[in-house]
Structure 1
Amino acid sequence: MQKLRYSVRINAPVHTVWTTMLDGATYRDWTRAFSEGSYYEGSWDQGSEIRFVGPGEDGSLSGMIGRVVENRPDEFVCVEYFGQIVDGVDDTTSEAARQWAGAREAYSFSESDGVTTVEVELDSEESFAAFFDEAWPKALERLRDLVAVR
């Protein structure tokens, strides 16, 4: 695994950015950069299971299964993955699922003079780095656009 980092500055209060990023409806919008139709099931509450789901190539559901290991509202949220969803079925035991076990994705939020900085840090297999390097900046730009209309 390698650590990947991305950030964006958004001209809005931290609470507005936090809410826009994690709200179910707006999450579906800014995450289109990763996969059209992406959404999450579950809760961002600390200790909760959360599933990141989207349509696979054949139309079946695919995605990742994680647990929210830390949630400090308007400041920090971190998910640790322990499985994947393949063809609509949860998988926590295959070799592919075990490769992602323990990988984390964290969002940090800080505000200064009405400008919020969102920093994203995630663990990634090397084979996904180029995809994330293309998708994350687009996703964060879309998040900035969504915040601007709120």
Structure 2
Amino acid sequence: MKKISFTEIIYALPKHVHKVMLSQDSYKIWTKPFSETSDYKGDWSEGSKIYFTSDDGKGGMVSIIDENKLGESIVIRHVGILKNNEEILSGSEVDKWKNTLETYKFNDVEGHTRLVCTIEIEDSEADEAKYKEMWLKALRLLKEICEQ
């Protein structure tokens, strides 16, 4: 696995950015680069299971919220996939990336937010290029929403 990080400066306070990021309405907007129908089902509290879904036929992801500290951090651990509303927690589709982390750090810099997102991906240049393009678009959308 390889870690890649993205940073976005958002002219809003960290707590505001954090709340907007997780609000279901804005989540559906800023995550469109991943899927036009991105959504989630579940709870963002620490220890909770959450499903990241879309209606594009690709299924979804089963994840655990390892950490959620308002205005400070979010850590999501991906543990499986959701296919036909069924959790798949092991097997060839899951084992190679199971327990990878997606981490967000909200840093207050003179009244605005330096958001740092780190994800773990398979170590391939094609995957890295794909993820970089999607994540940069997504974080720019989040910035636009937060700065409105």
TM range (shorter): over 0.9
Give the structure-2-normalised TM-score: 0.93
Bigger mean CA deviation after superposition, 126-135 or 27-36: 126-135
Query: What corresponds to 2:144 in structure 1?
Result: 145
Deviation >6 Å, runs of 4+: none
Distance 2:90 2:112 in 1: 43
Q: Which amino acid aligns with 2:108?
A: E
Listed one character per residue, the Cα deviations across residues 65-102 of structure 1 (whole Å, up to 9, x for unaligned) are 11111121110010111101234432112211111211
One-letter identity of the residue aligned with 2:66: V
1:61·1:87 contact (CA, 8 Å) conserved in 2?
no
Cα distance, 1:132 vs structure 2: 0.8
Partner of residue 42, structure 1: 42
Give deviations 1:99-145, integer Å, cap 9, x for gaps: 12110001100112111011000111135322111011110110011
Listed as ranges, the gaps of 5+ residues in structure 1 are: none
Structure 1 range deviating more: 98-107 or 120-129: 120-129
Aligned partner letter, 1:129: E
Higher helix share: 1
The residue that corresponds to 2:135 in the other structure is 136
> Given that residues 108 and 119 in structure 1 are in contact (C-alpha distance below 8 angstroms), is that contact kept between their aligned partners in structure 2?
yes
State the aligned residue count.
146
Which shows bigger deviation, 85-94 or 22-31? 85-94
Matched, 1:102 2:91: no
Structure 1 stretch displaced more, 66-75 or 84-93: 84-93
1:117 maps to what in 2? 114
Is residue 68 of structure 1 aligned with residue 65 of structure 2?
Answer: yes
Structure 2 portions without partners, runs of 5+: none
CA contact (8 A) 1:61 1:88 kept: no
Between stretches 95-104 and 125-134, larger displacement belongs to: 125-134
Query: What is the CA-CA distance between 1:61 and the residue it aligns to?
Result: 5.3
How far apart are the structure 2 equivalents of 1:33 and 1:8? 16
TM-score normalised per structure 1: 0.91
Distance 1:13 1:74 in 2: 8
| Secondary structure, aligned partner of 1:93 | coil
